[in-house]
Amino acid sequence: MTRILGRTPQSSALSAARRTRELDALADAGEVDVLVIGGGITGAGIALDAAARGLRTVLVERHDLAHGTSRFSSKLVHGGLRYLASRQIGIARESAAERHILLTRTAPHLTRALAQIVPLYDPGALAKGAYIGFGYELGDGLRRAVGTSGSVLHSPGVVGPETARRLAPALRGTHLRGAVRGWDGQLVDDARLVVAVARTAAGYGASILTRVEAVSVDGHGARLHDLVTGHTLGVQARAVVNATGVWAGELDPDVRLRPSRGTHLVVPTERLGGSDVSLTVPIPGSSSRFVFTLPAVHGRTYIGLTDVPVDGPMPDVVEASADEIDHLLAVVNTVLASPLTRDDVLATYAGLRPLLAAAHDDETSDLSRRHEILESGSGVLSVVGGKLTTYRRMAEDAVDAVIRRDPAFPSHPSPTRTLPLIGAWPRPRLGEIDAAPRLVRRYGAEAPYVAALADGPWAVRGVTAQELEWGVRAEGALSVDDLLDRRTRLGLVPADREASRDAAAAAFARARVDPLQV
C-alpha cells in the first residue's frame, strides 16, 4: 500500500481480534480527530478520506459493514444519464467523473462495463429509438468529457433484432425491430465495495469498529456501547460526522429527509436465457424511467427498481411490498417471450434512499440526488443525500468541511481520487493474477492469498471454503450472517442461506473465532 502523507501503512485485515485491540486502545486514546458514525459506503468513504489525510479516525457501526442501504443497491456505477433527462447537469457530470475513477483507478477489479439493451417494438419503434438513442449519445458525451476511453465503456448504438435476441435471448420476437445498446458501469457486489473501502481505511490507520452503537452524540464526541461485550465507553473527538443515511435523524433531529424505497426481485438467470446484459425496459407512461434486469453473482439476476416514498420510523431492513413485486414483473414482462411469474421470484430485497426533502411536495423519483453536509446546533456534521456512485466525492466534501471548521487540522487535499482500494489492479492486467477468474473478480490482487487458504466445506453456488474463511480472517465478519449476507450474498435467497450455514460455521472454526449469535 502506498504511503500517504508520511504515515506508515498498517495491515488492512479486519478481524475479531483487531476489533478487540482497537476498542481497548480507544478507551485510553484521549481525543481522536474524526469520529464517523455509520458503516455504509458513505461512512467507509469518509473514514478512508480522513485517514489518508493523516487524521486519527474511528468509525463505528451498530451492525455490520454495509448492513443497511449500501448492500441493497442496483450494483450499478451510474454515468448520470437519468440526471441529464431531468436537467441536473452538475450531478450528471459528477456521476460520470466518479464512475471513471471507480472503473479506471480505485476499483477496476470490482467493476466492469455492462451493456444495456433497450428493445424497440412496433408501433413507434423508430421514434422511440431516436429519442432513447439521443439520450445515450448525450451520456456518451459525458463519458468522453471526463476522459473514460472507448475501450473501457463503448459508445452506444443501434443493433438489429437478431443481435438483440442473441444478447438477450428472453426477448419477445414479435414486432421486435431492434434495440438501442448503451453502456454503463456495474459493481460485482456493492457490499464488497464497502468492505474494500473500509479495509483500505484500516490500512491507513482508521479503527473500523462494527457492533458498536453511538448511544449519545454531540459535536465533541459520543458515548459508545459495545454490543458484543455490553461495555460502554466515551470517546472525545475534534469532529463527529453522522453518516447513517436514512437514520441520520436519529442522531440529529435537525436533518430533514424524504426517504424512498427501491425494491428489487431476485430470479434465476436461466429464466432470462442466461443473458449477461441488462434489459432496460421503459415504464409505460414515462419517458425517463425504466425497469432493469441486472446479471449478478451465483446465477441470479436482479430486477429493479421501484421508487416509493417511505414515512415513519426507518427499520434496519425493509421489505418489498406485493404491489412493487407485481409492478416490476408487469413491466419486464412487456418484452419477454415467456413472462415471469411469482414462482420465478426466489427472493426480494429493498433499500432506502436518503433523499433530501424539497421545499415543495415533489415525487421522490423527481428529488435531486445531490448531497449536502449539514451542521447541527451541537456541532455534528451530517452527510445526507447522494448515491453510491458518488460516495468518494461525498467523503471528500465531508472531510473538507471538517478541516475548514478547525484551523488546527492540516489542510491537505484529498488523495482518494488516485488512491487504489485494497486488491485493485490495472484492468488490462487482471488476467495476470494467478488465481481463478471468479476469485479475481471478487478479490483482485488478493485472490491468490484467498486461494492459498486451506480447503474445507464449500457453501452452495460454488462459494469456496477459502472465501468464507477469508471473510473471517481479513474482512471483519463476526457472525455467520455477516458471511452469508454481506461477504458472499448467499443470504439473499433463503434456500441458499440454509444450505450454506454449516460451511460458514466451519470457516469460523478454522479461523479459531467464535461467531456471534445474532
| pLDDT tens digits for range 155-170 | 999 999 999 999 999 9
Select from 380, 351, 359, 317 the least CA-distant residue to 518.
317
What letters, b where the CB count within 10 A reaches 16 and e where it falls short, cover 185-209? Answer: bbbbbbbbbbbbbbbbbbbbbbbbb
Task: Determine the average pLDDT of the residues in 229-241.
Answer: 97
Asked if the model's pLDDT at residue 203 lies above 80, the reply is yes
pLDDT computed for residue 359 by the predictor: 47
User: pLDDT confidence of 475, banded at 50, 70, 90?
Assistant: very high
151 burial (CB, 10 Å; 0-12 / 13-18 / 19+) is: exposed
**Strand ranges in 85-195 using DSSP code E only, listed in sequence order:** 111-121, 157-159, 176-187
pLDDT computed for residue 369 by the predictor: 66
DSSP-based three-state secondary structure for 57: strand
Domain ranges for the chain: 16-70+191-256+370-405, 72-187+258-357, 453-510
Select from 337, 338, 340, 273 the least CA-distant residue to 303.
340
pLDDT computed for residue 313 by the predictor: 80
Give the span between the Cα atoms of 41 and 44, in whole angstroms: 5
DSSP-based three-state secondary structure for 487: helix
Asked if the model's pLDDT at residue 452 lies above 70, the reply is yes
User: pLDDT confidence of 3, banded at 50, 70, 90?
Assistant: very low
Cβ-contact 161, 167 below 8 angstroms: no
pLDDT computed for residue 6 by the predictor: 43
Q: What percent of the chain is predicted at pLDDT more than 90?
A: 83
Give the span between the Cα atoms of 108 and 315, in whole angstroms: 33
pLDDT computed for residue 368 by the predictor: 54
pLDDT computed for residue 4 by the predictor: 46
Q: Which CATH class is domain 16-70+191-256+370-405?
A: alpha beta
Looking at CATH, the fold of the domain delimited by 72-187+258-357 is given as D-Amino Acid Oxidase; Chain A, domain 2 (3.30.9)
Give the span between the Cα atoms of 273 and 126, in whole angstroms: 26
Question: Distance between the two ends of the chain, CA-based, in angstroms?
Answer: 34
218 burial (CB, 10 Å; 0-12 / 13-18 / 19+) is: middle
Asked if the model's pLDDT at residue 251 lies above 70, the reply is yes
CA atoms within a 13 Å half-sphere pointing along the CA-CB vector of 296: 28
- Tens digit of each residue's pLDDT (9 = 90 or more) over 114-157: 999 999 999 999 999 999 999 999 999 999 999 999 999 999 99
Three cell numbers at 354?
Answer: 436518503
pLDDT computed for residue 67 by the predictor: 97
Give the span between the Cα atoms of 204 and 196, in whole angstroms: 13
Largest pairwise CA distance in the chain: 71
pLDDT computed for residue 354 by the predictor: 84
Give the span between the Cα atoms of 145 and 304, in whole angstroms: 29
Which residues share a beta bridge with 381?
241, 375
Task: Determine the average pLDDT of the residues in 333-347.
Answer: 98
Give the span between the Cα atoms of 133 and 140, in whole angstroms: 10
pLDDT computed for residue 171 by the predictor: 98
What letters, b where the CB count within 10 A reaches 16 and e where it falls short, cover 159-170? Answer: bebeebbebbeb
Asked if the model's pLDDT at residue 366 lies above 50, the reply is no
Q: What's the DSSP call for residue 336?
A: B
**Strand ranges in 247-357 using DSSP code E only, listed in sequence order:** 260-268, 278-282, 290-295, 300-304, 308-309, 347-353
Average pLDDT of the chain is: 93
Cβ-contact 359, 294 below 8 angstroms: no
Asked if the model's pLDDT at residue 105 lies above 70, the reply is yes
Determine the Cα angle at 117 with ends 286 and 79, to 5°.
75
Cβ-contact 506, 85 below 8 angstroms: no
Give the span between the Cα atoms of 281 and 116, in whole angstroms: 10
Asked if the model's pLDDT at residue 367 lies above 80, the reply is no
DSSP code string of 179-220: EEEEEEEEES-HHHHHHHHHHHHHHTT-EEEESEEEEEEETT
Taking the CB of residue 269, how many other CB atoms lie within 10 A of it? 18
Select from 361, 360, 358, 351 the least CA-distant residue to 372.
358
Select from 152, 156, 153, 148 the least CA-distant residue to 93.
148
Higher pLDDT among residues 481 and 259, named by residue: 481
Task: Determine the average pLDDT of the residues in 242-254.
Answer: 91
> Of 159-168, 254-263, 503-512, where does mean pLDDT reach its minimum?
254-263
pLDDT computed for residue 88 by the predictor: 79
pLDDT computed for residue 355 by the predictor: 80
pLDDT computed for residue 310 by the predictor: 87
Task: Determine the average pLDDT of the residues in 236-254.
Answer: 93
Asked if the model's pLDDT at residue 194 lies above 50, the reply is yes
Measured CA distances, 501 to 363, 469, 484, 491 (Å): 41, 13, 8, 10
- Tens digit of each residue's pLDDT (9 = 90 or more) over 63-88: 999 999 999 999 999 887 777 777 77
